[in-house]
Chain A
């Protein structure tokens, strides 16, 4: 069984290699090959899952050591995999949703001449993401971590001829690199503290280290998580990442890659559990981001950007839960999985809408689409109900638990966090209802474009609707299944551990409260967008709305604080290097510059001069040594 773990990564990696190096002869069948290998990986994952279920819950982890990777002195990194319940959960999510999105892309990318390459990148992403969750040490995780970053870069910029796509891709990579600084330093700290950075020895001996060290490691891991999971203050890349093709947004920028930060924190639980200050930082980041993303989501008219704000916000919930420690780990991961279903479904639905609407993304130019795209409407609608936490659907089970856990943190902190989570639930209900109403209800608002092409909205082909239907099933039932007999809790508890905490509010009160704020959110959205016609150009809006449309001024902030000073600095340094540093030898350099015209004509003559000086130098040496010997 252990040997299968490597195959899990190898299958999509092979696909990426074949598709990217295979040349045009694979153009015709490349997408099928890519999809087949994604499915192969899913089947292997399922086999491993069945095998794991067959074993005792404390004996489920598998370990597969492939080879020694970097052995230098006390520094030992290995290529070795570890498959436990936590990794297994991710493996199924990644390969499952991944396979569905491969299938969807067959239809979605049908008319793109570079479809083979697209599937190559998708396979590369799967391989890297699987490596990330299967690595048994932080350095190998780092390889997967940057590998998904690379795949994300390539896919955001897939339509590279659009300058906006190329810029968004670069931005995503560079912001993530800031996070990588955190991961690098965390690994270095582990090495100097424990002499190793493999999960098992570090995590099981975490208590040996001082709290200060653990806090430092935790904060650095948090920085890394902020980059990858688009959390404040490294959130600015996610909205722009919507430049990528929509299946990419669904797979990478909603269901899997952006949740890697949650994985990292949950995996490193033993470190955070013993570093309360780092945990406080984690919950703060989570709470701020869940509100930040939700507010941004309210103001966007671009359907994908509204969903991106929502993703940021939902991951904020997960980070918040992970920061709560053993009370929250299980629910962070549970919400991660249910979110994987409904958010991927929502994005695929958005893609289906765009597919039928000549790639229009402005929701103000939609309206009444439920009549034209019934399957999309129903699947998107179920995803909508799931994300706002409609009772019984997936999001209800997972989000409710997080809100409860936030209160259970206790003290003032618990009230603040719980309050933020509740407020977030209200805003979520508001912006998602807004998306739903703008897109599928009301009157049609689309107009012919400049070339006079009027969109003819139509339902998407089967290859696209079937994945949407499958994901809708997940959005409806996953949460309930997971909560049946606390199945998910029992499954993950041996790895993440779990404690209940003491909530000042009863579970029923929290649920009731959540329902109330949910209704308020839906009602406000209905008053604004359901009851009266929607203008097809956005009104000016309040100060907050305008700020939220500009992503709460994140780019303006970065521009003023980082980009501009950076530009001045580099320009200044180019000048300094040219005039000053070079000028230290200005005398020589300048005279040489003046002489060079003549020297050029005397190339050979100059070389003679040099040769003479060489001999002269040697002669000096000999003379000097003779002299010394004489002395």
Chain B
């Protein structure tokens, strides 16, 4: 038996969580280093996964398969395609930065009064690693039931992270902040729980249908798609649609898709910035990833049936999220609404069912993770300094903290998809992929790029430019730890904006596979240019309209 690389990649952060939690209270600071060490070990493992993955090889690689609950056909089945590899890499990459950025977020308060809640340093970092482990295994699971378990279980550590560790800043009383935090955490939980319960019904339904047709019920993605291809498994149209909706609802809550989005601004607003990044850049990606892997591949016909409605909802998300972002007065809520707009783009790309759309959506998941992390973490550094999340409390920061302002601007420019930075590529691919099948939708979505410029630049203008506000004066610039967090993210945004090929090479075959399961082909251009030698083509030769002597 070969080395179970995927299991180990998920198990290391889980072990790290246990180890971090076990650090004795007296040495609480050491817990941070333990957590950072384990997150870096996970990063190394993810890099090994990335390197061992052969883009031209089988669809699912590094597979592991063991029976688990034999009576119900549940298997412990892992495997990765290019999309999963990219997202595992993203997750493993972001967690060390999230830990570093949140280095002091769970320090015990100096004057611990009885009313103030104890901030368990160990718990904070252990929970982050726990989430990482569950997210990683969600990306790896090819057994629907196995996926479901972790998809749901992830809610528990997330709930505690949101409800237990808010911003210290806020200009509100500790009591009020705690109330708001609890509200946000419970809202997060209820929304996602509701989605999860509906999915549970669909998971059961899937078992029933496969048990009916195949004799023994199964949750194996591979087995189900194979059986469908072979014709031994045939869903009734209405059954397939119902099951699809059950799955999709859960993923749409997680993603989140309009109108199921309202938990996100609360959660991201109340959580500390690193946790907000964990929510939007990591955990939410499981939702869009699962649409690609499970909705499309288990229920291709129903996916195509639901496409028009989903495309419209995605389009509403794009425009609505951006407009709401423009109207926000709270920095973190603004970024949350921007994320809703971006998730609209991802879902639009997935359901455009073109290679550019889905390839773009996958790159979008990665790039949005990096760009939002950069923007949100710098915003967090800013908020910690001033003690307020309100945009109006800032002004003139660039004068006193130019490096902070500069990195904030780059994060913002990435968020508005400036060409040259990575998010541009994914956004343009999604737009092109959508446009080539649905021109009208593609054009409307393009309006999103103007709105994005508005919310980013208005935010920058109000916080960073203008006369220096009294409360901002004396604000220190970024410290070394903070620079270590931000600089690599910015470098990566530039690198992937200039040379995304390593990523597209991995993602493209997986997208082709998904599209072949759904049985969709890219629309052909009207007048394809077939000249293969166009690199050496000189525009002066034989130009139809001119140059003739």
Contacts and interface: CB of A to CB of B under 8 A. Distances in A.
A203 B539 contact: yes
Interface in A582-631: 582, 584-585, 588-589, 592-593, 595-597, 599-600, 603, 606-607, 610-611, 613-614, 617, 620-622, 624-626, 628-629
Contacts of A79: 498
Given A160-B466, A574-B328, A621-B204, A84 B359 contact: no
B392 interface: no
A558 interface: no
Given A160-B465, A161-B466, A166-B461, A209 B190 contact: no
A28 interface: no
Contacts of B531: 201
Nearest to B534: A201
A153 B412 CA distance: 14
A177 B450 contact: yes
B539 A82 contact: yes
Interface string B225-249: 0000000000000000000000000
Nearest to A179: B450
B464 interface: yes
A65 B536 CA distance: 9
Contacts of A208: 527
Contacts, number: 290
B327 A574 contact: yes
Contacts of A213: 526
B356 A620 contact: no
A278 B447 CA distance: 22
A63 B536 contact: yes
A472 B152 CA distance: 73
A173 B454 CA distance: 9
A72 to B, nearest CB: 4
A630 to B, nearest CB: 11
Contact of A204 (B196, B204, B537): B537
A177 to B, nearest CB: 4
B159 interface: yes
B413 A192 contact: no
Contact of A209 (B399, B464, B467, B527): B527
A502 interface: no
A63 B420 contact: no
B324 interface: yes
A58 B183 CA distance: 72
A541 interface: no
A571 B418 contact: no
B259 A581 contact: yes
B52 to A, nearest CB: 23
Tier of interface size on chain B: 35 or more
B538 A61 contact: yes
A625 B454 CA distance: 52
B534 A610 contact: no
Contact of A70 (B429, B536, B544): B429
Contacts of A607: 156, 159-160
Given A68-B501, A621-B204, A185 B183 contact: no
Interface stretch (A39-47, A244-252, A489-497, A512-520): A489-497
Interface stretch (A138-146, A287-295, A299-307, A312-320): A138-146
B461 A625 contact: no
A620 B527 CA distance: 57
Between A65, A139, A160, A595, the greatest number of chain B beta carbons within 10 A of the residue's beta carbon is seen for A160
Nearest to A326: B546
A166 to B, nearest CB: 4
Contacts of B323: 569-570, 573
Contact of A191 (B191, B436, B536): B436
B186 A180 contact: no
Interface string B324-360: 1011100000000000000000000000001110011
Interface string A551-568: 000000000000000100
A448 interface: no
A542 B523 CA distance: 59
B534 A166 contact: no
Contact of A65 (B436, B501, B535, B547): B535
A625 B217 contact: yes
Contacts of A482: none
A178 B543 CA distance: 32
The binding surface of chain B is classed by DSSP as helix
B159 A625 contact: no
Interface string A156-197: 010011110111011001100110110011011001111110
Contacts of B540: 58-61, 84, 494-495
B179 interface: yes
Interface in B184-227: 186-187, 189-191, 193, 196-197, 200, 203-204, 207-208, 211, 217
B253 to A, nearest CB: 11
Contacts of B204: 621, 624-625, 628
B449 interface: yes
A479 interface: no
A213 to B, nearest CB: 7
B541 interface: yes
B306 interface: no
A269 interface: yes
Contacts of B187: 589, 592
Given A58-B540, A178-B450, A592 B207 contact: no
A170 B458 contact: yes
B150 to A, nearest CB: 12
A411 interface: no
B522 interface: yes
Contacts of B461: 166-167, 169-170
A147 B419 CA distance: 7
Nearest to B448: A181
Contacts of A597: 179, 182
Contacts of B72: 622, 625
Contacts of A274: 545
Interface in B150-189: 152-153, 155-156, 159-160, 163-164, 178-179, 182-183, 186-187, 189
B453 interface: yes
B446 interface: yes
B419 A143 contact: yes
A215 interface: no
Given A75-B356, A617-B197, A629-B211, A205 B431 contact: no
B203 A188 contact: no
B356 A497 contact: no
A458 interface: no
Nearest to A582: B262
A370 interface: no
Interface string B488-508: 000000000011110010001
Nearest to B72: A625
A593 B518 CA distance: 43
A573 B324 contact: yes
A170 B190 CA distance: 40
Contacts of B529: 194-196, 201-202, 205
Interface of A: 58-61, 63, 65, 67-75, 79-80, 82, 84, 139, 142-143, 145-147, 150, 153, 157, 160-163, 165-167, 169-170, 173-174, 177-178, 180-181, 184-185, 187-188, 191-196, 198-210, 213, 269-270, 273-274, 326, 493-498, 566, 569-571, 573-574, 577, 581-582, 584-585, 588-589, 592-593, 595-597, 599-600, 603, 606-607, 610-611, 613-614, 617, 620-622, 624-626, 628-629
17 contacts: A72-B356, A72-B508, A161-B396, A167-B461, A170-B460, A177-B449, A195-B528, A270-B543, A494-B540, A496-B546, A571-B327, A574-B324, A577-B324, A584-B259, A589-B190, A592-B183, A617-B196
Given A569-B323, A629-B217, 20 more contacts: A61-B539, A69-B498, A74-B522, A74-B525, A75-B356, A75-B429, A160-B466, A185-B443, A191-B432, A191-B436, A192-B523, A193-B527, A194-B528, A200-B538, A204-B543, A204-B544, A205-B529, A326-B546, A599-B182, A629-B71
